[in-house]
Structure 1
Amino acid sequence: MIQNRKLKDLFQLLISLLALVIVIQLLQVYFFRWDLTSEKRYSLSDNTKELVANLNKDLYFEVYLSGDLPYGFIKLQKASLEMIDEMASYSNVRISYSLLSPGDIINPKKRQEFFDQLINRGLNPINLQEKTTDGSLNQRLIVPGIIVHDKEKETSVNLLKSVADLSSDENLNHSIEELEFELTSAIRVLQKTKPKEIAFLTGHGELNEYQVADFTASLLQRYEVRRIKAHDLADGKSNFSALVIAQPREEFSEQDKYNIDQYVMNGGKLLCLVDEVIASMDSLTTKENTMAFFQPLNMEDQLFKYGVRINPDLVMDVQSQLIPVQTALPGQPAKFTPAPWYYSPLLTAPDSHPITRKLNVVKAEFANSIDFVGNSKQITKQVLLASSDYSRLEKVPALISLNIVNKKMSAADFPAGSQNIAVLLEGVFPSVFQNRIWKGMNREKFKSESVATKMIVISDGDIIKNRVRGVGSNRQIEALGYDRYTKNTYGNRSFLLNCVDYLCDDTGWMQLRSREVKLRLLNKTKIQSERLFWQLVNVLLPLLLLLLFAVARFYFRKRKFAGSKQKNIA
């Protein structure tokens, strides 16, 4: 009896070992991963898997988010390393990383030199303030960033996102959501042998190269940038991935319109920042009043044909930028008080689209309203930026006066509701020259309908315009979206970069910006009020369960052996 049981146990052990060996061999041949999270936070997109599976060079990640970090940054560090490990598991080349902590450098001079080097390489250190045990504040620099490089070149990735309306926990969670998009963007930059070309149109009084210098510098990290005339688009011979029309001030000729139209018909992408009203803050720096007037650009029929109309008006908004206003009485020292400048609305963006998800508010200036026109089923339309629900439309010509900041205005003075400022159009567009006879048309190459393409129309050219101070060698370029009065930096640059990325994205990379990782925060108020109860539960409940298990085990063993003893006596 005993011998048969031993043989049976030995047989079961051999079967188990054989099954284990078979499973191990199968796992070496067939690779799979199982993500049990509801939002699939540990799963890579198909695009990312294909990208890393077709790499031709080893990649190395210098991760500078290291050292003694707060818990939120530790989560960001852990998520970054997990993402790199996940990429390495699908890659056909070696992907490795190292953790580096610049703050651990003891020598202050060498530490500062190292931080300066990181800034020059594209990383942005942040000043972290922490409370010490004695209640004082301790400040130190950390670098939430990664430098990715192969054997030939490198690029930087700043991990920390800073959206003004989000809490610190939400910003860190948003940074985790953006990890796959940011890391794959860096890898794609390194892998590209020839970057895509972005063209800025000239010849119609558009913003000059200095007025768009900040945005251009950001584009140059991913694209090649050129400034062209409309005739460079002729005959569909251009290879530009997107065309930027930045605040033209002079009328377009029919020939230029035709070249732009055929560029679109052949699949070209447009980013149009067009004002239909002439008004400028520069005029108000020397006098209290200026005139705003309608100035058509001979593009109205073209945009109308594509599906939008820019109206000759000015959008005023309760949610607006603050400007300093002199409030001191005559004879007293100057005193400046911030007041809302209704002609500079702070635009909100829907959180549902990859271009605008988790985006800081965008600052506009003398923006016009946009209406959708036409009912083509081949074109889908999406609002990207809009004013608040408390807006007002000022028809032109109109007198713009600084005295408006002294007027007491209520919500009833802004009855127009939300107004569209930036819109996205996608689909098949009709040519503005369709069913028209014009001597400049090339009938052999003319296309009356586009292939599937997309365009973004923004009714304010100032959104892309950075401030320029000084001339010549003393010229200084301010950051795009920076307000020197409030010291805020608005989301203009991020919004425009996302626009260009979306227009140039033919394979769905921008959809990674829609990735959502749910933030499951504890209720801090409930924690404080029920702290003692849950402490007692955590300490006493395991002991109580252990005691109950011991009593139950003792009872059943006693009952079992008492029954066996009675049988032996019988």
Structure 2
Amino acid sequence: MKSRTSVITIVILTVGVVVLINILAGRFFVRLDLTEDNRYTLSKATKELLRNLEEPVTVTAYFTRKLDPSFDNIRKEFEDLLAEYHSISKGMVVYDIKDPLKDEKTEQEAQQAGVMELQVQVREDDQFKAQRAYLGAVIQMGEQSEVIPAIGQTQGMEYSLSTAIKKLSVKEKPVIGILQGHGEPPLQQLQQAIYALQVLNEVEPVDLADSTTDLSRYEAIAIIAPTDSFPQSHLDQLSRYLAGGKGVFVAINRVGADQNSQWGIPVTTGLETWLSQYGVEIGNTYIVDVQCPVVTLQQQQGQYVSIKPVQFYYFPFINKFADHPVSSGLEQIILQFASPVNYTGDSAVSFTPLAMTSEQSGTKSSYSLYEVD
């Protein structure tokens, strides 16, 4: 009898907790996250963004219903995400969910907004068939709008949605200059980086040879993979720019590689000497690391060609990152013919290494064959 009473008590308590959660969920949307990696917990940056919105944001989600369970799960996750955004923003984010295949007018509306029509596989009567579907959203603030053309997976949903809202909410964007004129890749080859920068910034090319260029209008200047030498006058301009309190991002190759001869090639632009004046030393060496990818090596042996998988130590895998906003969220990157960076300047200046090689790494002179073992 006592056991039965205990069971009844547990059932009543369980039902009571469920009812309480449902009541609270009706007033305050709360998404419980029991996953080990907190994948359903909004980031601090997203919460801060939503709590500081000055204008209302309208999200119109276009999702086809009655698809394969995997696609239905994407829709449900996005609905839950929108509900959480609405709750945290205290109603500043409102949303509507439409099925474009419900009527022709809604489908035209989705297409004109930039939401992609997809072809997905659905199971019907134990057979798979192709079906048209929409899985996208339009985010609007005032007269401006951003579109997420297609949402193919639950991972990255928050990033895509928050990025669109952030892009709309920033009224006065600082200008970032991308240096040109020293063999740097043209902006057309940097589209992915430029797209990411344009969320919070305006991006423009900068030519130091143009006497009319006013560097003071740029919040920062990025120097990416130059191959030609910098005239002293250009280095002097950069020094004056830094002295004015602005920032310079430098991504340069100190060593290269001749794929035909397999000999290392030192890369000298003058930037390495200029950087050393500020205590930043870029070694004229290769980084080699046992933690590296496996490449396929073809070798001619008489009339036959043998294929052999080998480790290529000159492309280190990097998975050790500093606890810093710049490297936050990075899990692993691969560097090609990288060189070590050290700081030898004023100890009063803060120097933070953002990415570190493994304990099984070392260096090798650039004046040598880069051998494949």
Match of 1:309 in 2: 281
> Taking structure 1 as reference, are residues 358 and 122 closer, same or farther at Cα in structure 2, changes over 3 Å only?
farther
Distance 1:183 1:312, change over 3 A: same
Distance 1:185 1:258 in 2: 37
Q: 8 Å contact 1:205–1:250 — kept in the other structure?
A: yes
Question: For structure 2, which runs of at least 5 residues remain unmatched after alignment?
Answer: 1-26
Alignment counterpart, residue 240 of structure 1, candidates 218, 222, 225: 218
Counterpart Cα distance in 1 of 2:240 and 2:131: 55
Contact kept in structure 1, 2:290 and 2:360, CA below 8 Å = yes
Find the aligned partners of 1:385 and 1:125 in 2 and give their Cα distance. Answer: 39
The equivalent position to 2:297 in structure 1, one of 320, 325, 337, is: 325
- Greater percentage in helix: 1
Q: Is residue 271 of structure 2 the alignment partner of residue 299 of structure 1?
A: yes
Q: Distance in 2 between matches of 1:297 and 1:390?
A: 30
Query: Is 1:204 the counterpart of 2:182 in the alignment?
Result: yes
Shift of 1:77: 2.1
Identity %: 17
- What is residue 355 of structure 1 aligned with on the other side? 326
Please report how far the alpha carbon of residue 215 of structure 1 lies from its aligned counterpart in structure 2 after TM superposition. Answer: 3.3
1:322-345 superposed Cα distances (whole Å, 9 cap, x missing partner): 43322575434x665554332222
- Report the equivalent of 1:272: 250
CA-based RMSD of the aligned residues comes to: 4.5
Describe the SS at the equivalent of 2:249.
Answer: strand
What's the CA shift string for 1:91-140, capped at 9, x where partnerless? 3xxx43222456x6799xx99x999x59x93779797899x997x98888
Residue by residue over 1:173-221, the C-alpha shift from the partner in whole angstroms, topping out at 9 and shown as x without a partner, is x647xx2x64443223224455432211123222234443443455456
Which residue of the partner structure matches residue 78 of structure 2? 77
Contact 1:76/1:175 (CA < 8 Å) preserved in 2? no
Check 1:133–1:36 CA distance in 2 against 1; reply closer, same or farther (3 A cut): closer
Secondary structure, aligned partner of 1:225: strand
Compute the TM-score of the two structures, normalised by the length of structure 2. 0.70
1:121 aligns to what? 114
Amino acid of the residue matched to residue 283 of structure 2?
N
Which residue in 1 is equivalent to 2:146? Answer: 155
TM-score (norm 1): 0.48
CA contact (8 A) 2:166 2:199 kept: no
Secondary structure in 1 matching 2:353: strand
CA distance in 2, matches of 1:265, 1:79: 49
> In terms of mean alpha carbon deviation, does 385-394 or 266-275 score higher?
385-394
Cα separation, 2, equivalents of 1:214 and 1:360: 19
Secondary structure in 1 matching 2:85 = helix
- 1:72 positional shift: 6.0
Query: Is the contact made by 1:318 and 1:390 (CA closer than 8 Å) also made in structure 2?
Result: yes
Is the CA contact 1:235–1:262 (under 8 Å) kept in the aligned structure 2? Answer: no
| Alpha-carbon spacing, 1:211–1:37, altered in 2? closer, same or farther (3 Å) | closer
Query: Take 1:123 and 1:357, find their aligned partners in 2: how far apart are those partners?
Result: 31
**1:345 aligned partner, one-letter code:** P
Whose RCO is larger (CA < 8 A, sep 6+)? 1
1:62 maps to amino acid: T
Q: Distance in 1 between matches of 2:122 and 2:347?
A: 54
Structure 2 CA distance, aligned partners of 1:297 and 1:245?
12
Q: What displacement does 1:59 show?
A: 3.1
In the alignment, is residue 260 of structure 1 matched against residue 268 of structure 2? no
1:390-415 alpha-carbon deviations (Å, 9 max, x no partner): 223111211235xx1xx3xxxxxxxx
- Structure 1, unaligned stretches of length 5 or more? 1-31, 163-171, 408-570
Counterpart Cα distance in 1 of 2:347 and 2:361: 29
Relative to 1, partners in 2 of residues 1:326 and 1:34: Cα closer, same or farther, differing over 3 Å?
A: closer
Matching of residue 189 in structure 1 with residue 167 in structure 2? yes
Of Structure 1 and Structure 2, which has the larger fraction of its residues in strand? 2
Partner residue of 1:49? 51
Distance 1:347 1:106, change over 3 A: farther
User: Measured at CA, do residues 98 and 205 of structure 1 come closer, stay the same or move farther in structure 2, by a change above 3 Å?
Assistant: same
Partner secondary structure for residue 50 of structure 2: helix
1:362-393 Cα offsets, whole Å, 9 max, x none, are 2321111111223433x333232233332231
Q: Does structure 2 conserve the Cα–Cα contact (< 8 Å) formed by 1:236 and 1:263?
A: no
Aligned length: 336
Specify the alignment match of 1:390 in structure 2: 360
Letter in 1 for 2:219: S
How much has 1:270 moved relative to structure 2?
1.8
- 1 CA distance for matches of 2:97 and 2:31? 28
Q: Secondary structure at the match of 2:245?
A: coil
Q: Which residue of 1 aligns with 2:205?
A: 227
Q: How far apart are the structure 2 equivalents of 1:374 and 1:184?
A: 39
